[in-house]
Amino acid sequence: MNELNSLETSETSESYQVRLEIFEGPLDLLLFLIRKKKIDIHDIPMAIITKEYLDYLNRKERIDLEREAEFLLIAALLIYIKSQMLLPREQVLDQEGDPRRPLVDRLLDFQKIKAASLLLREREDEQSLNWTRTALPPLSPEEEVIDLSDVSLFDLAEAFFTLLKRKERENFMVIPGKEVSLENKMKEILDVLQENVVLDFLEYLDKQESIEEALVSFFSLLELIKAKLVMAIQESLFQSIKVWLRKDLRKKTP
Amino acid sequence: MKEQLRPIIESLIFISLEPLSLEKLKSVLQDFPQEEVELALQELLKSNESNERGIQIIQSGGGYLFATKPEYDPWVKRLLNIERKTKLSQASLETLSIIAYHQPITQAEISALRGVDSTYTLKTLLQKKLTKIVGRKKAPGKPLIYRTSEKFLLYFGLNSLDDLPSEEEILKILEDEKFSEE
């Protein structure tokens, strides 16, 4: 009954506003409350601590579902423990059977973790003043040895996914194409014919760098035929097209 | 020859890509008696106290390496154009201390100890290379197993995991804290 009395008198002072965000988690909040109420961690009055804890949850300003779930989980645990303690038992509970025991162990563990991180923070502060060189002057390329000892599977996977990402982006890249004009292509074909007399047009198409260039080549051929500058013969369907310069044109060239 | 040992050791520490361990040092200097190497190293470390130098040799991450002295931090920062060195978040520190003291450990075990989901924090620690994945646990779901990395030691200026704050130091902090609140 003592516990209930103190519950009623325990002031839920509005002046003592603490935002939930400053707590790393529910255990952090619990430890804070225990210290604030000067409670012996090995003998926690469950009703008081549960009420205090829930008060803090109600006071929070923003709702962050994920974080809230973690805080509520511990709230449920507190209520569960209290209910366990209310159950009538035949024997007086020893320390091992105390329903608060697992929570107390967790809190004690967490307290140690907090203390350890405090000590690590001190070391971090100290060490941050000792600057070390992060890279040596570059070695010449032939001496360079790639050190793989520090590369973990995780690194590899990460590198792979970065590459994938980059590749993905590449799909959207506009590749500046070589500009092929009909005039230039016609001139090019004529030049080739001047040198070689006869031209296997399928072979010539194969040498083109892009579909566009091949297309322009074909149009050029048609234009040249139309302009009566070349003759083209295809013996049968799907056979190669052979192209010659017209005789009169050939004579003109040196 | 013996007098040369100190400068030799100094040059080896200087050129080493990672903290130069005592074993490595001894194996390179195998022509010298081991005690002489150790003695020369100790003498070399004494030169840290000299005011004439801006650099010192520190023992961290399993070996010896050069670092600037703390008092010249403001100038180094000015050179590197760094206003403030970023420190780890409280969540990162907590998670790191859990891994440091409980390794090898899984994500679920870390989250349980903190009472907070630690997936994101673990990811940032991995990216910072302060932790590493060493394998998978033979348990349902085959969860990944985490350990602290070599960089973790260097970051906190620890020579090995044995240098982590001891149980006594931790308990002392806890008592101090209680003390200061009463």
User: What single DSSP character describes residue B159?
Assistant: S
Instruction: Please determine, for residue B1, whether its predicted confidence score (pLDDT) is greater than 60.
Output: no
Tokens of A31: 């430890």
Report in angstroms the alpha-carbon separations of A57 from A147, A219, B11, B74, B169. 51, 78, 60, 43, 34
Determine the pLDDT at residue B152.
93
Q: What residue type is A10 in one-letter code?
A: S
Distance CA A222, CA A220 (A): 5
**Contact residues, B window 102-141, toward A, CB-based 8 Å cutoff:** 113-117, 126, 132-133
- Of A126, A147, A174, which marks where a domain is finished? A126
* pLDDT digits 0-9 by tens, B103-116: 899 999 999 999 88
B96 contacts chain A (CB < 8 A): yes
Name which of B74, B139, B129, B82 is nearest B106 in CA terms.
B139
B73 contacts chain A (CB < 8 A): yes
* pLDDT digits 0-9 by tens, A158-216: 877 887 777 676 666 666 667 788 888 888 888 888 888 888 888 888 888 888 888 88
In a domain? residue A173: no
Helix (H) or strand (E) holding B59: strand B55-60
- Other CB atoms within 10 A of residue A173 CB: 7
> What's the pTM value of the predicted model, to 2 decimals?
0.63
Determine the pLDDT at residue A135.
53
Decide if B77 contacts A144 (C-beta within 8 A): no
Q: Residue B176: closest CA among chain A residues belongs to which residue?
A: A115
Decide if B81 contacts A101 (C-beta within 8 A): no
Which fold is adopted by the domain B2-79?
Arc Repressor Mutant, subunit A (1.10.10)
Distance from CA of B33 to the nearest CA of A (A): 30
In a domain? residue A108: yes
Instruction: Please determine, for residue B97, whether its predicted confidence score (pLDDT) is greater than 90.
Output: yes
In a domain? residue A177: no
For CATH 1.10.10.10, list the domain ranges present in chain B. Answer: 2-79, 90-181
Distance CA B132, CA B152 (A): 10
Distance CA A55, CA A201 (A): 87
- Chain A contact residues (CB < 8 Å to B): 24-28, 35, 38, 66, 70, 73-74, 106, 109-121, 123-133, 136, 147, 150, 152-154
In a domain? residue A166: no
| DSSP string for residues in A135-204 | SPPPPPGGG-----TT--HHHHHHHHHHHHHHHHHHTTPPPPPPP--HHHHHHHHHHHHHHHSEEEHHHH
Q: Are strands A241-245 and A230-234 parallel, antiparallel or unpaired?
A: antiparallel
CATH architecture of B90-181: Orthogonal Bundle (1.10)
Determine the pLDDT at residue A10.
37
- Determine which of B84, B92, B98, B107 to mutate to test the interface with A (most A C-beta atoms within 10 Å): B98
In a domain? residue A217: yes
Query: For chain A, which residues score pLDDT lower than 50?
Result: 1-18, 136-142, 253-254
As a whole number, mean pLDDT of residues B37-45 equals: 91
Interchain CB distance below 8 Å, A115 and B115 = no
- Other CB atoms within 10 A of residue B31 CB: 7
Q: B149 falls in which pLDDT band (50, 70, 90)?
A: very high
Determine the pLDDT at residue A65.
66
B84 contacts chain A (CB < 8 A): no
* pLDDT digits 0-9 by tens, B45-71: 988 888 888 999 999 988 999 999 999
Residues of chain B with C-beta less than 8 angstroms from the C-beta of A152: 132-133
Residues of chain A with C-beta less than 8 angstroms from the C-beta of B101: 113, 116
Residues of chain A with C-beta less than 8 angstroms from the C-beta of B90: 24, 117
B24 contacts chain A (CB < 8 A): no
Q: Is B60 exposed, middle or buried (0-12, 13-18, 19+ CB in 10 A)?
A: buried
For A214, the domain range is: 182-252
Decide if B110 contacts B118 (C-beta within 8 A): yes
In a domain? residue A245: yes
B38 contacts chain A (CB < 8 A): no
Q: Is A178 exposed, middle or buried (0-12, 13-18, 19+ CB in 10 A)?
A: exposed
- Do A90 and A6 have their domain in common? yes
Q: B153 falls in which pLDDT band (50, 70, 90)?
A: very high
Determine the pLDDT at residue B99.
95
Distance CA A232, CA A201 (A): 9
Residues of chain B with C-beta less than 8 angstroms from the C-beta of A131: 67-68, 73, 76, 80
Interchain CB distance below 8 Å, A119 and B158 = no
Q: Are strands B131-136 and B144-148 parallel, antiparallel or unpaired?
A: antiparallel
Distance CA B126, CA A204 (A): 56
Distance CA B61, CA A203 (A): 65
In a domain? residue A133: no
Q: Report chain B's mean pLDDT, rounded to a whole number.
A: 88
